[in-house]
Amino acid sequence: MNDSRLQELFGAAREEARESVSTLAPPNLEAALAATSTQHHRLGLGSRLPQIAATAAVLVIAIGALLILEAPAIPAGDIPSHLTMLVDSLYSEESFVLDELAPRLTPRNARVLDAVWESVAEEIRTPDS
């Protein structure tokens, strides 16, 4: 079957749909408006109180649980030196800041942010000053 034959079928479908729906009565907008106002009425504050109360209860429980649970503690002491040496050998801090972090700042041309990162980079370049 070629495309033009398919187009003909669609043309026929559209025409047949047009003829068939032309027998329908005009849309009943008053019914749609009435249905909407009934829904609004049904969704008034009074009928939504149980839902609001349930949501508030869930929130209170969730916040309480968060307050009771403690975040896992970070192990005390220094980071093992072999790890820091490994990271240092892979990437210098200065390059990391300049190459990786700075370009991710948005907007990238923000002067204030550029200045902040410049000063951080400068500090890393001259750690003893």
Give contact residues for other proteins (rule: CB under 8 A).
1, 3, 5-18, 20-21, 23-24, 26-29, 31-33, 35-36, 39
CA atoms within 13 A on the CB side of 20: 6
Beta carbons of 124 and 94 less than 8 angstroms apart:
yes
Minimum CB separation from other proteins for residue 60, in Å?
32
**In terms of CB distance, is 28 or 129 closer to other proteins?**
28
- For other proteins, the closer of residues 13 and 87 by Cβ is 13
**Rounded to the nearest whole angstrom, what is the least distance from the CB of residue 73 to other proteins in the complex?**
46
Query: What are the structure tokens assigned to 75, written together?
Result: 């192990």
| Residue 96 CA: distances (Å) to CA of 85, 112, 119 | 15, 20, 14
Smallest separation, CB 37 to other proteins (Å): 9
Q: Label residue 117 exposed, middle or buried (CB < 10 Å: 0-12, 13-18, 19+).
A: middle
| Residue 2 DSSP SS3 | coil
Kindly tell me which of 9 and 116 has the beta carbon lying closer to other proteins: 9
Q: Where are the alpha helices (DSSP H) in 22-44?
A: 29-42
Rank residues 1 and 68 by Cβ distance to other proteins and give the closer one: 1
The tokens describing 107, both together, are 């907007």
Considering the complex, what minimum distance in angstroms separates the CB of residue 69 from other proteins?
A: 39
